[in-house]
A and B are shown apart, each in its own frame.
Chain A
Amino acid sequence: MGEFKVHRVRFFNYVPSGIRCVAYNNQSNRLAVSRTDGTVEIYNLSANYFQEKFFPGHESRATEALCWAKGQRLFSAGLNGEIIEYDLQALNIKYSMDAFGGPIWSMAASPTGSQLLVGCEDGSVKLFQIIPDKIQFERNFDRQKSRVLSLSWHPSGTHIAAGSIDYISVFDVKSGSTIHKMLVDRQYMGVSKRKCIIWGVAFLSDGTVVSVDSAGKVQFWDSATGTLMKSHLIANADVQSIAVSDQEDSIVVGTAEGTVFHFQLVSVTSNSSEKQWVRTKPFQHHTHDVRTVAHSPTALISGGTDTHLVIRPLMEKVEVKNYDAALRKITFPHRRLISCSKKKQLLLFQFSHHLDLWRLGSTVATGTVESMCLLAVSPDGSWLAASGTSAGVHVYSLKRLKLHCTVPAYNFPVTAMAIAPNTNNLVIAHSDQQVFEYSIPDKQYTEWSRTVQKQGFHHLWLQRDTPITHISFHPKRPMHILLHDAYMFCIIDKSLPLPNDKTLLYNPLPPTNESDVIRRRTAHAFKISKIYKPLLFMDLLDERTLVAVERPLDDIIAQLPPPIKKKKFGT
């Protein structure tokens, strides 16, 4: 494969923002994630958890709440007091509207999806009607003394529960008046002077209100009588988030200690109908606060200050024990954040609000604001391939400035593409880890691509977590395709035979002691290196020089606020 001089770049000072809210949409199986910098990302859980859409954030728009409404409409609200609707087609903000209640702490769409409820700093709960192109203020509910931090609708839409500081109120939606006010103990046992903040509430269809609070409790209330039924002390720190499954048989809560607890409704004995909520498994996948959780039919989704989005499938809900049953941890965006100028040896780093331009070997920084989309230009400048969010790839002729052809549609979104220098072959990588090679002049898939599809990829290749974010080519060896994801760098040699499921995909480091015969026999098209991880970018500068941009996780963690200190036994 040859040896390269490698620029191992670790000065890309990229810190992903912490996750503030997640909202799961059951109909489209998509997940909206908002970060503390106002960025909103849309993940397609059907397409291998690929981040397919992305709304850049702004410093003034810190989101506090995110929700889906009827007809796949996405709303967010934040501390600037505005409700924002996003245009998921145009990938921009449709409109923003001030709620006139000070900073908005919470938002909830009604079970039918036609109404929107926001809880504000001034203690007001405001009801908005969602009309086709706008939202329209309808009325205020009884004003509370302090800010409304959490809201939840009863599944029938007749009542709502609102979590405030030290108490939970239950409203009747029709009259807008408070029915019950349930006071929360400031501490589980004993007294504390600190106020108890209700970080989350969930209203179940049997009238039970589940609350999580800053004293570390998960409490079950009877909303009909306004009494506490059961209390679980689960953490020494705040419990910050709660989500309920659609069947209402499972609850997930996230704590400031980074633990996610699962509560399940199980029958007391096998032959009685009496059921009780039982705390079952704890999951410790986060180091910092779990600010938000979501419950999809098959998985627990959590995100927090440590910037990881964790998708933990529930084993009992997964039918086949395949790779979907494995834990997913998404840290880096599924886009290329780095561009490289080969001739000038420049690296362009994209941050959320600015760009950095680095010359390899020197330190020059300039900054502009720009958004990007997935485009590929052929090196000779005659072709342009463009991919929208709807997975189709269009090839335009730049000379004639018109559509040349369309690559046959594929179910999974494109994660990366590039046009080979001499052959003008378009190489496309999809989120299900498939790689296609499409000949633009011939308007068809190349022979190699057909054989690959016939034989299929190695099962380990298909099981990788992260999408391919960049494809490039070797200027002198046309048979080579260079591609990488966050955990590996691969050179595909089209001249060599493809691996089948029995061969070793990840061959160990250069086998020096093995004879050439064995090496030749075991050689296959995929040459994979896992030396660099997490790898954000890798490209050839020239024939003999590679540039690799890494962002070690430890460096990111070092820049995060310190986690809650916990005593570890034996230390």
Chain B
Amino acid sequence: MVEEESVRVVRCGGSELNFRRAVFSADSKYIFCVSGDFVKVYSTATEECVHILQGHRNLVTGIQLNPNNHLQLYSCSFDGTIKLWDYIDGILIKTFIVGHKLHAFFAHAHAEDSVFVIIKKEKPDAFQLVSVKLPKSTSQEIEAEELSLVLDYINQSPKCIAFGNEGEYVAAVRDFYLSVYFFKKKKTSRFTLSSSRNRKHAKNNFTCVACHPKEDCIATGHEDGKIRLWRNFDDDKKYTYTCLHWHHDMVMDLAFSVTGTSLLSGGRESVLVEWRDAAEKNKEFLPRLGATIEHISVSPAGDLFCTSHSDNKIIVIHRNLEASAVIQGLVKDSSILTGLMIDPRTKALVLNGKPGHLQFYSLQSDKQLYNLDIVQQEYINDYGLIQIELTKAAFGCHGNWLATVEQRQEKKTELELQMKLWTYSKKTQGFILNTKVNMPHEDHITALCFCNAENSENPTLVTASRDGHFKVWILTDDSDIYKKAVGWTCDFVGSYHKYQATNCCFSEDGSLLAVSFEEIVTIWDSETWELKCTFCQRAGNIRHLCFGRLTCSKYLLGATENGILCCWNLLSCALEWSAKLNIRVMEPDPNSENVAAVSKSSVGSDLFVFKPSEPRPLYIQKNICREEVQWGVFVPRDVPESFTSEAYQWLNRSQFYFLTKSQSLLTFSTKSPEEKLTPTSKQLLAEESLPTTPFYFILGKHRQQQDEKSNETLENELVQLPLTENIPAISELLHTPAHVLPSASFLCSMFVSSLLLSKETKSAEEIPDDIDMEEEKESHSSGEENDFTEKVEDINNADLGEDIVQQLSKSEEKELRKFRKIDYSWITAL
């Protein structure tokens, strides 16, 4: 086991997939997208992550295929390097050290050994497009310091730069002007939208630009939703443009199809618009894409498009405008109000997702598992609308119940509150709405907690509200006359001197309920709902409240707004200890006595891990991040670690994840990042990357038929079926990673035919026999095949019948197995 390595804060997935345009591989089989410090390679067919290209030490800001070798990928990063990857094997080929912080990357085939990057000038908000000469060298790390300025004072976003007509010119937009730099003439033309018009509709500034692949035509998107197509821009005077207007809001991105016959545009309407022949009347739509389209890219083969959305989603779209795959990351669109939770069933991280949704996110695979629509209302995407917000959620009874609270407040006095209770249905493998409570409280609900005791026979839920009450909800079965259905009803309403209830918490065994009323903590007996005792420290309102666990279950912890952490002994009803700590997040570990607390200091956030029984912390890490930490959660480990060092023992059984204000999900890890990620299958079959040309189809089919023919002549003799484990088709099916498997329909025929008895195949095989006889002669290319067919003939001639099976040699058996792998789908085609 890794020992005594220092604990580091690492970013763990959930990074933005939509930060930059996604890039397709030349054969459209893979799609690349930047994801934090990594580049991820996804399969366009199966949506599965195939590779993670890691090596950059900061945010990756640009990727592009090597225009001279489409099996290589360039990437650039804030760490000042350009890296060249072999994406099929996931190998870093070269690193070019530029030294500046690189904001975007461009390359095209006609710029020989130069690439283009956006760097920042000394002045704020001023960026430059520079060309970088990549020196030719065999070494792994090369310094590339030969920079030459192309365009000055540009927008930092790569959407605002486009290269056109095989790199003859580059177009850049910023604010109200479009500048075009011609490489041959070394001349910049600048076109400004007239200022008088700017006053009238102040929103016609440029947002993005794209260049026609074949013609001298530049498309620009504008904030007022217009698309302008510029032509004749090599003449400062005779330039002209056409307007296309469909979007009512800002055009977020534009892309031309590979042939240039259609233009794609997208924006906040979440509709992909395809303009055919650049004609205003001739357009096609793909609506209801779910969220704002941030980027659009087109595959070099021209068969696929892809859109990146603001909800961290990439949709792969077929040429005929049908969505074919969705790659969904952690949604970071809205503010997180529910905090971080762990679904006890799937061990997925649960938090706010799309507006009105709860997302279930797998930490292991960095993938969204599913979305649960809580609000169940159509989301209207418009500025200034007050939406229904999902504010609280809690899991209870080992994930059997889910409670959610949603609210909408237009004015101070008009609060709309709704509490929903969801039950897990084994049949549908999802949550089903059980009870809906309108206005469970008069005012905002501040806390929600289930009684999660092992032996509690009746599910119990407690809600605390600012209206001064806490309510106990229990599951009853009297909601219909047959007493079949169950529902939740209010069982008890408690209050304490009209103070606002701010927190509630059940003890581990469920016998006690702690409810904090502003500065006072009250302890209630969960059997009789009578007030047992109160604690008051007069140190500000209680912000966090939690019971100790296991051996420390006699302690109650409370953190106040004035920066005091108190620990009360429930047996003696007295303050055990207190410490001065400005706590932002306090989370108990469900698997141990440990409690993690994150405090905010002037320079950042500090982490303290302690046991309630003793005031001395087990572990302190200062400055875990520079921002304020908003939420944290302990995630139980699947396989416990075994750190012997006392400082790291708290990480043995659970892992602590936390979310900062800028919504980056971080955790503590001791492993190096290379080890941390589970190695996905590194080998991608080389054949797979070969393009499927019509030529391939002819040749490939021919070879298949030939092989099958000889295979079946063998199989004629086979009557006895081998054991299922030995059927190669099955073993192959089970051992191949899912993302490299062909489609199920393809496998099915192969699977079924491998189980077929040979007598049935006889009739089917007679037809190809005749056809292939002549072809066979010309195509005996490999010697091995030759030998084999001869052998087959020998067997046939010998006419030994059934007992030949036992007499097959080992090598023959191997051959036989090899031919089993071939699919028989051609039979259906006959």
Contacts and interface: CB of A to CB of B under 8 A. Distances in A.
A binds B: yes
Interface of A: 188, 232-234, 262, 264, 266-271, 276, 278-282, 316, 569-570
Contacts of B333: none
A280 B168 contact: no
A102 to B, nearest CB: 36
B224 to A, nearest CB: 12
Contact of B232 (A232, A233, A266, A282): A266
B248 A280 contact: no
Interface in B222-236: 231-232, 234
A281 B242 contact: yes
A270 B237 CA distance: 15
Contact of B248 (A234, A262, A570): A570
Contacts of B152: none
A280 B231 contact: yes
Given A233-B279, A269-B214, 18 more contacts: A232-B279, A234-B280, A266-B216, A266-B232, A266-B240, A268-B216, A269-B165, A269-B215, A269-B216, A270-B165, A270-B216, A270-B234, A271-B168, A278-B231, A280-B240, A281-B242, A281-B243, A570-B248
A234 B281 contact: yes
Contact of B215 (A233, A268, A281, A570): A268
B241 A281 contact: yes
B168 A278 contact: no
A267 B279 CA distance: 18
B243 A266 contact: no
11 contacts: A234-B280, A264-B231, A264-B240, A266-B232, A266-B240, A268-B215, A270-B234, A276-B215, A279-B242, A281-B242, A570-B248
B726 interface: no
A262 B238 CA distance: 14
Interface in B263-307: 279-282
A279 B217 CA distance: 13
A233 B240 contact: no
A233 B281 contact: yes
Contacts of A281: 240-243
Contacts of A266: 216, 231-232, 240
A269 B211 CA distance: 12
Contacts of B168: 270-271
A493 B243 CA distance: 50
Contact of B237 (A232, A264, A271, A316): A316
Across the A-B interface, the 9 shortest Cβ-Cβ residue pairs? A233-B281, A280-B240, A266-B231, A270-B234, A269-B216, A316-B238, A268-B215, A266-B232, A316-B237
Nearest to B246: A569
B282 A316 contact: no
B239 interface: yes
Contacts of A316: 237-240
A267 B243 CA distance: 19
A280 B216 contact: no
Contacts of B238: 316
**Max count, chain B CB within 10 A of own CB: residue among A232, A266, A268:** A266
Contacts of A269: 165, 214-216
Interface of B: 165, 168, 214-216, 231-232, 234, 237-243, 248, 279-282
Contacts, number: 50
B216 A267 contact: yes
A475 B248 CA distance: 60
B4 to A, nearest CB: 65
Given A268-B216, A270-B216, A281-B240, A233 B282 contact: yes
Contacts of A279: 242, 279
A271 B279 CA distance: 25
Contacts of A267: 216, 232
Task: Tell me the dominant secondary structure on chain B's binding face.
Answer: loop
Nearest to B215: A268
A257 to B, nearest CB: 12
A278 B216 contact: no
A281 B226 CA distance: 13
A278 B248 contact: no
Contacts of A271: 168
Contacts of B241: 280-281
A316 B214 CA distance: 25
A280 B242 CA distance: 4
A188 B277 CA distance: 14
Contacts of A282: 243
Nearest to B239: A316
Nearest to A315: B237
Contacts of A264: 231-232, 240
Contacts of B214: 268-269
A281 B282 CA distance: 17
Contacts of B215: 268-269, 276
A264 B214 CA distance: 19
Contacts of A278: 231, 240, 242
A266 B240 CA distance: 9
A185 to B, nearest CB: 14
A269 B164 CA distance: 10
B193 to A, nearest CB: 13
Contacts of B234: 270
A269 to B, nearest CB: 5
The CB with the most chain B CB atoms within 10 A, among A269, A276, A281, is that of A269
A232 B168 CA distance: 29
A280 B232 CA distance: 11
Identify the interface centre among A234, A276, A279: most chain B CB within 10 Å of its CB: A279
Nearest to A264: B240
B242 to A, nearest CB: 5
A569 B240 contact: no
A38 to B, nearest CB: 37
Given A266-B231, A280-B231, A569 B248 contact: yes
Contacts of B232: 264, 266-267
A370 B777 CA distance: 105
A271 B214 CA distance: 12
B159 to A, nearest CB: 24
B167 to A, nearest CB: 13
B221 to A, nearest CB: 18
Contacts of B248: 569-570
A315 to B, nearest CB: 8
A262 B240 CA distance: 10
A267 B214 CA distance: 12
Nearest to A233: B281
Nearest to A216: B281
B211 to A, nearest CB: 11
A234 B278 CA distance: 12
A316 B282 CA distance: 29
A298 B592 CA distance: 85
A234 to B, nearest CB: 7
A266 B235 CA distance: 11
Contacts of B216: 266-270
Contacts of A280: 231, 240-242
A200 to B, nearest CB: 19
Contacts of B237: 316
A232 B278 CA distance: 10
Nearest to A235: B281
A313 B573 CA distance: 90
A266 B242 CA distance: 12
A264 B240 CA distance: 8
Interface centre among B168, B215, B239, B243 (most CB of A within 10 A): B215
Contacts of A570: 248
A267 B238 CA distance: 12
A415 B216 CA distance: 49
A380 to B, nearest CB: 51
Contacts of A232: 279
B225 to A, nearest CB: 10
B476 to A, nearest CB: 51
B163 to A, nearest CB: 14
Nearest to B234: A270
Nearest to B242: A280
A413 B282 CA distance: 49
A126 to B, nearest CB: 38
